[in-house]
Amino acid sequence: MRAYIVAAVLVLLCGTALPAAKTLDVYVIDADGGKAMLVVTPSGQSLVVDAGYAGFINEKSQVVTPNDLDADRIIRLVKLAKVKQIDYMVVTHYHNDHAENVPKFVAKVGIPVRNFVDHGPPLEQSQLTGAIFKAYTDSIGKATRITVKPGDTIPLKGVEVEVLTAAGQTIESPLAGAGAPNELCGAAPARPDRGENPASVGLLYTFGKFRMIDLADLTKGVEYKLMCPNNRVGTVDLYMVSHHGWDLSNSALLVHALRPRVAIMYNGAKKGNMPAVVQVLRSSPGLEDVWQMHYTPSGKVETDRSQYALKFCKERPKHEARVATIINRGFRIPPGDSNYRLDAAFTAPQDLLVYSFSPHMHLRGKDFEFRAVYPDGRREILLSVPQYDFNWQNAYRPKEPLRFPAGTRIECTAHYDNSKGNPANPDPKKAVTWGDQTWEEMMIGYMDCVLAEPGSAVK
């Protein structure tokens, strides 16, 4: 989704508490499926990694409407962070979702960009890649260009930045404390990796005890070279999910060996976040949290006021809370239809305790109902929302968790008003299909639940 703002600001500390002036600040920027990140060190030095797209894209991820949105987002953060110069501009590789916008950012940022870092000439011979590379090198001007190789470092005061991969090559020797055999390796990928993705500049940041790895769009063949037969990196605290969550990258032999505590993904509205990668992340030993945020455009600059709070328990939770998603993506709501019906269902794989129900539709949503069909044939209405309002999306919680035995079928029915009688309808003359944007539609019933053993009294 296109946001006119930064998607998230993450402030990372090392293992012990430090004064506010002693933090490593990592700003993860919403580039609508592209890549852009700002790192500011405790000493005030700065490093920008990639700069996103140079405009709006089509279904093939090609820029069709040039604009400065991604450049402006980065610049707003540079000003927010009170950065006086960009010490290093890292271009991981020469694809348009990473490098095409670099010249615009450099031209508009208004402060010096001292050094440019890349992996050397393109390893992918295409007209677009060649044009991106030329525009990038032209934008360097009189600044210093640094071509890095694995084992090099980017000198930032107080933060160690090591180059793990570049131009398809990897570090040859394990880092300090690493080098243990990687039991997940197995056979090497049969197909060799070619092009710009496997050529990505991959970096490891170390700040005190804190370690963050960002391998850009590195693909599985080079991941194997880096991690097999021995893990040359060790473990990390933060894993920047590679390649926007595509399953050409993010192999379990990499992610599970790194054992990240937190993962952040640069996916787009219709790009990345592949189910196979989500499964690799969820099953990674030691992963503590998964966030997913998205926005819809308003046409003007907005301020993000999202907040996140944690409450730490004295004891480890006995059960993992899960979200069951009852969903219907395959629909087309005709123009003018004032009562279009959609259905979806979910069958409990084992006994469930459900703590809340949340219907989700967009502006044409009219009403929503959850029902249970029990294994003995009994039917029960669980929740009825007769006047759904997109601006008031509530989670409905029963006084006590509801138990559903294995085999219970949870049914959802929703109705939509795509007529001119719906004052919230963006366009009653248009057929509507599934989509992330508010003017498109969704049909989802969420349930917060835990898996319960038969007959248990879990609450």
Of the candidates 227, 262, 282, which is a domain's last residue?
282
Residue 13 has pLDDT above 60, yes or no: no
Task: State residue 315 phi and psi, 5-degree precision.
Answer: -125, 155
Kindly state whether residues 81 and 192 are assigned to the same domain: yes
Whether residue 135 is contained in a domain is answered as yes
What is the DSSP code string of 272-299? Answer: ---HHHHHHHHTSTT--B---------S
Per the structure, the count of domains in the chain is 2
Residue 306 has pLDDT above 90, yes or no: no
Kindly state whether residues 351 and 258 are assigned to the same domain: no
More confident residue, 91 or 8: 91
Looking at residue 10, its pLDDT comes to 40
- Cα 239 to its chain centre, rounded Å, is 11
- Per cent of the chain over pLDDT 70 is 90
Whether residue 388 is contained in a domain is answered as yes
Residue 178 has pLDDT above 80, yes or no: yes
Kindly state whether residues 342 and 257 are assigned to the same domain: no
Whether residue 199 is contained in a domain is answered as yes
Take residue 245 and report the two structure tokens written for it.
């969550």
Residue 148: C-alpha distances to residues 90, 93, 117 (Å): 10, 12, 7
Degrees, nearest 5: CA angle 280-282-285: 85
Whether residue 276 is contained in a domain is answered as yes
Q: Rounded mean pLDDT of 78-89? A: 94
| CATH code where residue 223 lies | 3.60.15.10
Whether residue 305 is contained in a domain is answered as no
Whether residue 46 is contained in a domain is answered as yes
Kindly state whether residues 259 and 346 are assigned to the same domain: no
Q: Give the number of other Cβ atoms within 10 Å of residue 16's Cβ.
A: 7
Q: By the 8 A CB rule, do 217 and 98 touch?
A: yes
Whether residue 372 is contained in a domain is answered as yes
Residue 360 has pLDDT above 70, yes or no: yes
Sign for the CA dihedral angle at 181, 183, 186, 192 comes to negative
Residue 369 sits in which domain range? Answer: 322-451
DSSP state for residue 417 in the 8-state scheme: -
Top-ranked range on mean pLDDT: pick from 27-36, 143-152, 184-193:
143-152
Q: By the 8 A CB rule, do 417 and 427 touch?
A: no
Kindly state whether residues 232 and 327 are assigned to the same domain: no
Looking at residue 19, its pLDDT comes to 39
Kindly state whether residues 50 and 190 are assigned to the same domain: yes
Q: By the 8 A CB rule, do 446 and 358 touch?
A: yes
Take residue 123 and report the two structure tokens written for it.
């390893």
Of the candidates 233, 254, 282, which is a domain's last residue?
282
Kindly state whether residues 339 and 408 are assigned to the same domain: yes
Kindly state whether residues 166 and 48 are assigned to the same domain: yes
Q: Shortest CA distance to 286 belongs to which of 236, 245, 240? A: 236
For 179-300, where are the alpha helices, taking DSSP H only?
220-227, 252-258, 275-282
Residue 11 has pLDDT above 70, yes or no: no
Whether residue 304 is contained in a domain is answered as no
| CATH code where residue 433 lies | 2.60.120.230
Q: How confident is the model at residue 295 (pLDDT cuts 50, 70, 90)?
A: low
Residue 16 has pLDDT above 70, yes or no: no
What is the DSSP code string of 107-160? Answer: HHS-S-EEEEEE-SS-SS--HHHHHHHHHHHHHHTTSEEEE--TT-EEEETTEE
Kindly state whether residues 341 and 228 are assigned to the same domain: no
How far, in Å, CA of 412 to CA of 293, rounded? Answer: 25
Q: Rounded mean pLDDT of 346-372? A: 96
Could you read off the pLDDT of 361-416 as tens digits, one per residue? Answer: 999 999 999 999 999 999 999 999 999 999 988 899 999 999 999 999 999 999 99
